[in-house]
Amino acid sequence: MLKYILRRLLQMIPVILIISMLLFILVQAMPGDPIQAYLGVNSKVNPEVKERIKAKLGLDKPIHIQYIMWLKRMLTGDFGESIEYKRPVSEVISQFIWNTFLLNIVVFILAFGISIPVGIICAVKKYSRTDNFWTVFSLIGISMPSFFFGLLLIFGFAVNLKIFPISGMITAGSRYTGLAYALDVAKHMVLPTIVLTIGSLASLVRYVRNSMLEVIKQDYIRTARSKGLSEKVVIYRHAFRNALIPIVTLIGIWIPTLFTGAIITERVFVWPGIGRVLYHGVIMRDYNIVMTLNMFFAILMLMGNLLQDIGYALVDPRVKVE
């Protein structure tokens, strides 16, 4: 197993290199004068000084040399400075990423905690009232743009009913500590959590249901029944253990999204997460942020694929990873 993981990680290196090259080329194609950006938009410096800075930063070198220099810096953990936050990119990321994680881990637990039992019930009682309800629910959830849904919730629950705060993560100007602080954050989390959970549930319930239906029609389920096992054992032991295989692979893909955040939801609810940092970076042309985050997300997704395969090997005895 360890060998397999190592091999997969090694195989990832060329892919990551290619991705980094593509990103680097993209960023080179970005408009704007990096020297000016480095000095600040309003500073006036004579061209000679500019040339010197250019040489110092290595920007006078050919592009492939620049790429290697950039790569070296990235590998040593130096992601450059954020223009907007005036701080190293790594600091900015570590400041905001946990807000994203907090929101997403709650959504993750809710989404899987609800969709697995619901999906099973829908599959077992196919076309029942429960199943039909969730089918309609899924359809609406899949078709509802998250920003529109978020705005509707704000309009209803925050603006009109005033039950929940409109946006942000903590009440502005508040100095809560301890439990009061946690409660304040929790209140702010409710609406974005609803948006993200319902969005995820819509597709997850469908997925679990269909995986379960696929399993229920297999011959070994008939065998299990013919052994005199109760329906409960047939469904929750024999069937579910098999349906778990596709579900576990799905969890593998989901783990990276805990960190990549939800740009739209974070934007609508002004949640100070990593998705918003990227969005602002894009708007403000904060290239170091944009580069680093895209690179980070791509690596996370690749890791997700690996996790998926490992999960597969763990739950399916037919899969051997060697």
Partner 1 sequence: MSEFLLDVKNVKTHFFTDKGVVKAVDGVDFKIKKGETLGIVGESGSGKSVTSMSVMQLVEEPGKTIEGAIKFKGEDLLQKTTEEMQTIRGNEISMIFQEPMTSLNPVFKVGEQIMEVLMLHQDMSREEAKNKAIEMLKIVGIPRAERVVDDYPHQLSGGMRQRVMIAMALACEPSLLIADEPTTALDVTIQAQILQLMNELKKKLGTAIMLITHDLGVVAQMADHVIVMYCGKVVEDAPVEELFENPSHPYTKGLMKSIPSLDDDKRRLDSIEGMVPHPLRLPKGCYFEPRCPYAIEKCKTHKPELKEIASGHKVSCFVATEEVR
Partner 2 sequence: MKSEAIKKADAQKKNEEQEVVGLWEMVWANFKKNKLAVFGLIAISILILLVILAPIITPYERDAVDLLNAEQPPSMSHWLGTDELGRDYFTRILYGGRISLKVGLFSVGVSLVLGILFGGVSGFYGGWIDNILMRIAEIIYSFPFLPLAITLSAILGTKVSTENKMYMVMVIIGVLRFPGLARMIRGQILTLREQEFMQAATALGLSDSRKIFRHLIPNTFAYIIVNATLGVAGAIMSESALSFLGLGVVPPIPTWGNMVTYATRSYVLKNMPWLWIPPGFCIFIAVMSINLMGDGLRDAVDPKSNR
- Single out the residue of 224, 235, 248, 258 in contact with partner 1 (rule: CB under 8 A): 224
Q: What 3-state DSSP class applies to 102? A: helix
**Backbone region of residue 165 per phi and psi (left: phi > 0; alpha: psi in -120 to 50; beta: other values):** beta
Burial class (CB in 10 A: 0-12, 13-18, 19+), 77: exposed
Closest C-alpha among 178, 177, 182 to residue 102: 182
Which of partner 1, partner 2, none is residue 318 near (CB under 5 to 8 Å by kind)?
A: partner 1
For position 174 contacting partner 1 by CB under 8 A, the verdict is no
Amino acid at 112: F
Residue 249 CB: number of other CB atoms within 10 A?
19
Which of partner 1, partner 2, none is residue 18 near (CB under 5 to 8 Å by kind)?
A: partner 2
For position 322 contacting partner 1 by CB under 8 A, the verdict is no
Where on the chain is the footprint of partner 2 (CB under 8 A)?
Answer: 15, 18-19, 22, 26-27, 29-31, 135, 139-140, 142-148, 151-152, 154-155, 159, 166, 209-210, 213-214, 256-257, 260, 263-264, 267-268, 275, 278-279, 282-283, 285, 290, 293-294, 297-298, 301-302, 305
Which of partner 2, partner 1, none is residue 248 near (CB under 5 to 8 Å by kind)?
A: none
User: Alpha-carbon distance 313 to 245, whole Å?
Assistant: 9
For position 228 contacting partner 1 by CB under 8 A, the verdict is yes
Minimum distance from residue 246 beta carbon to partner 1 (Å) = 12
Minimum distance from residue 165 beta carbon to partner 2 (Å) = 13
Residue 200 or 257 with smaller CB distance to partner 2: 257
- Phi then psi for 40, rounded to 5 degrees? 100, 140
User: Alpha-carbon distance 210 to 122, whole Å?
Assistant: 9
User: Alpha-carbon distance 304 to 299, whole Å?
Assistant: 9
Residue 22 or 182 with smaller CB distance to partner 2: 22
**Count of residues in contact with partner 1, rule CB under 8 A:** 21
Closest C-alpha among 44, 37, 52, 49 to residue 86: 37
For position 235 contacting partner 1 by CB under 8 A, the verdict is no
For position 232 contacting partner 1 by CB under 8 A, the verdict is no
Which of partner 1, partner 2, none is residue 302 near (CB under 5 to 8 Å by kind)?
A: partner 2
In sequence order, which residues have a C-beta less than 8 Å from that of residue 126 and are 6 or more positions away? Answer: 213
Residue 56 or 320 with smaller CB distance to partner 1: 320
Does residue 164 contact residue 171 with C-beta atoms inside 8 Å?
Answer: no
Q: Name the site residues for partner 1 (rule: CB under 8 A).
A: 218-220, 222-231, 238, 241-242, 245, 315-318
